[in-house]
Chains A and B, each alone.
Chain A
Amino acid sequence: MVIVRRVKPLPYWIIPIIALLAGIAVSTIILYILAGASPAAVFSAIAYGFTRPGVIAKIFVALTIVGIALLVSFKGSIWNIGGEGQITFGMMAAAWVALFTMLPYINPGLAQASMIILAMIAGGFWALLAALPRAYLGLDEVPVTLIMNYIAYYIVDLLVYGPWRGSSTHNYPRTDTIPSQAMFPQIPGTTMTWDGLFLLIITFIGVWYLLRNTSIGLRIKILGNNPNLLRSSGINVPLTIILALTISGLIAGSVGALYLGGDVYHIGYPIESQTANYGYTGILVAWLSMLELIAVPLAAYIVSALYEAGIKYQTLVGGNLGGMLTSGTSAIVDIFIGSILLLYTILITFSEYKIKIIIER
């Protein structure tokens, strides 16, 4: 078996689509074998997910923003696996504004804006902590950002279990529900909020401008393709690394505010078993987009439809597994995401390479 480079790469959209279809097929087979679930139920759940834009809107907005956040660092070949921790930190900052300041009672608009801005700063700060050793010591950012997700979880757990425990929760370890003035208003007929939609548009245009028209964007792109060129042309490489990761963290942090103010309205304990895992799922979105900004919303739509399909399917086949499949942590979603992402990772090779079988005699 020999792998040779193609003279002309395949069009970039072919592999994601093949991986998607093959991944769904593989998941269906796995579910059939292990859970005895009929393929028809899988397909009807997937059809349900893809045809309910109003229902998946909330997940779509969050995943698009996380996808864009990760894209910024991925463009610079800085693999930010820490979106989850940055979101968690953002959530913590937003909760502080909503629960422990007077802002919501003074001016709801101002309170919601400060929740988002403070969440961004918190997320950016958490990413900056991982960026510094990467930039100045060459410490691989993948394990560092990953480990920092867990540190962020436990910092929030410490707060929620201790000083932030709610006064109206019957001593149950969770924060109080945020005041209604700090809740983001929902767009009627959908699950998303006006704040979320606004943030999505701003982020998309902002990052589009950053990558297209600014020197920072150009430096990040060169960092990804040819860091030696950057070094030899006298540009501060550590600073570029720090910017790529910190901007990524800033954007991811804002999703923490959206999740708190537009979805859950409180922080539960322990947070690691109640998170929506947007930080990890966002990696799939960024990968499926082939790091093309314009394709991120499309990838996010596909992934959020599958996300919803997994939750729907769980309610359909729960009976086969003794009705014990918990709906919060979603095993079916994990199967979909895992098999699609794995196949995609493998198949992406073949957009630039082809396999030749040579029989030696």
Chain B
Amino acid sequence: MSGSILSFIVGASSLFLAYYLAAVGHGLMEKSGILNLAIDGVFTLGVAIAFAVSVYTLSVPMAILATSIIAALFGLMLAFITTKLPISHGAAGLSTMFLGYGLAALVGLPAKVVENKRLISGSEGLAIIQPSLGYMWVWFYVAVFIVAVTIWYLIEKTKIGAAIRAAGENPASAEALGVNVLAVRLFASGVGYALIGIGAAIFELAYSPVWSQGKGMGYGWIAFAISLSAGRHPILTLVPAMIFAALEKFRFIIESTYNVPTDLGKMLPFVAAIAAMIIFMVTPLKRKLAPPKSLGKIYFREERTV
């Protein structure tokens, strides 16, 4: 019995880390008031970048670094245009999502050609940089713990965190009290998207180290649903991230053992997200876990004086 629990903990570890990083990054960004609908596109692009960079450089740290930097650039771009200009967060996010999907194919396919040539010529290809996972899973849990505590401390206990929350609740008042809303949102989105990028890289490099066009699509939305079902709280996010990572990792075992169709398991994060959103709206949990009041609302500084 203890053996099966251990194999459960080990098996789910890499996907748990990937989901958690993406979800917590998403939550951090939305805490600052920017509606983030680009997550699935950038996650898919991140998966492709992690694959391409690891094929070209054969270096895992390089792949993670490159993915997080490019993802962070997308975050900064989104934060800048939605704060500086009076434009719809939803439209900016969805169009970036499309761009991410398209770019992912263009980035990943040429690398796939290189990788396939290597495999045909008898070399091991990407497999040589795959570390034997061994006790890696311990480090995955340590990483999750460190990120969870750091982000929680950042949001709840520091001045920057207070500024992020203020920018999400009421940017106009925050600005009047001396908060630089643009800077705060750039920070939250940059860090948030860097985490989403690292999550995508972990997903590609540690969870399922192969790539084909469309890989990662839909997983960004699962991270989105995980974050929403935990009210964007960095510590609470651990729970749905673990549950849905285990469901995804062991879905074939669950299907064959308990005769539950896999699609039911895939549906669960999304149903949980909507149920949680309704619960957070109507119960006293609202104080802590309801969405930021100005989430997705256009905040346009120049307009105030008119």
Q: A139-B277, A150-B218, A331-B101 are in contact. Are A158 and B90 (CB under 8 A)?
A: no
Tell whether, in the assembled complex, residue B107 and residue A342 are in contact, meaning their CB atoms are under 8 Å apart: no
In chain A between 126 and 160, which residues have their CB closer than 8 angstroms to a CB of chain B?
A: 133, 137-140, 142-144, 146-148, 150-151, 154-155, 157-158
The residue in B35, B224, B266 that gathers the most chain A C-beta atoms within 10 A of its C-beta is B266
**Chain A residue at minimal CB-CB distance from B35:** A142
Tell whether, in the assembled complex, residue A338 and residue B270 are in contact, meaning their CB atoms are under 8 Å apart: no
Tell whether, in the assembled complex, residue A346 and residue B218 are in contact, meaning their CB atoms are under 8 Å apart: no
The answer to the question of A349 belonging to the interface, with a C-beta cut-off of 8 Å to chain B, is yes
Q: Which of B106, B213, B271, B281 contacts A151 (CB 8 A)?
A: B271
The answer to the question of B102 belonging to the interface, with a C-beta cut-off of 8 Å to chain A, is yes
Q: Which residues of A contact B37 (CB under 8 A)?
A: 81, 142, 146
Chain B: interface secondary structure? helix
Tell whether, in the assembled complex, residue A324 and residue B98 are in contact, meaning their CB atoms are under 8 Å apart: no
Tell whether, in the assembled complex, residue A322 and residue B113 are in contact, meaning their CB atoms are under 8 Å apart: yes
A276-302: CB near B (< 8 Å → 1, else 0) gives: 000010011001000000000000000
Q: A322-B109, A335-B106, A339-B99 are in contact. Are A139 and B263 (CB under 8 A)?
A: no
Tell whether, in the assembled complex, residue B218 and residue A154 are in contact, meaning their CB atoms are under 8 Å apart: no
The answer to the question of A212 belonging to the interface, with a C-beta cut-off of 8 Å to chain B, is no
**Chain B residue at minimal CB-CB distance from A270:** B263
Q: A140-B291, A329-B214 are in contact. Are A283 and B264 (CB under 8 A)?
A: no
B-binding segment of A27-35, A52-60, A100-108, A175-183: A27-35
**Chain B residue at minimal CB-CB distance from A150:** B270
Min Cβ gap B214→A in Å is 6
Chain A: interface secondary structure? helix
Tell whether, in the assembled complex, residue B106 and residue A144 are in contact, meaning their CB atoms are under 8 Å apart: no
What are 19 A-B pairs at a CB distance below 8 A?
A: A30-B102, A133-B277, A140-B291, A140-B295, A142-B296, A143-B273, A146-B221, A147-B273, A148-B270, A148-B274, A157-B263, A158-B264, A283-B91, A322-B110, A331-B101, A332-B102, A335-B102, A341-B91, A349-B86
Identify 18 new A-B residue pairs, CB closer than 8 A, beyond the known A144-B274, A322-B116, A353-B302.
A35-B106, A35-B110, A81-B94, A138-B281, A147-B221, A147-B224, A147-B228, A158-B263, A161-B261, A284-B95, A287-B91, A331-B101, A334-B98, A338-B99, A339-B99, A342-B96, A346-B87, A353-B86
Which residues does B use to contact A, with CB under 8 Å? 35, 37, 41, 81, 84-88, 90-92, 94-107, 109-110, 112-113, 116, 213-214, 218, 221, 224-225, 228, 261, 263-264, 266-267, 270-271, 273-274, 277-278, 281-282, 291, 295-296, 302, 306
Which residues does A use to contact B, with CB under 8 Å? 2-5, 30-31, 34-35, 79, 81, 133, 137-140, 142-144, 146-148, 150-151, 154-155, 157-158, 161-162, 270, 272-273, 280, 283-284, 287, 321-322, 324-326, 329, 331-342, 344-346, 348-349, 353
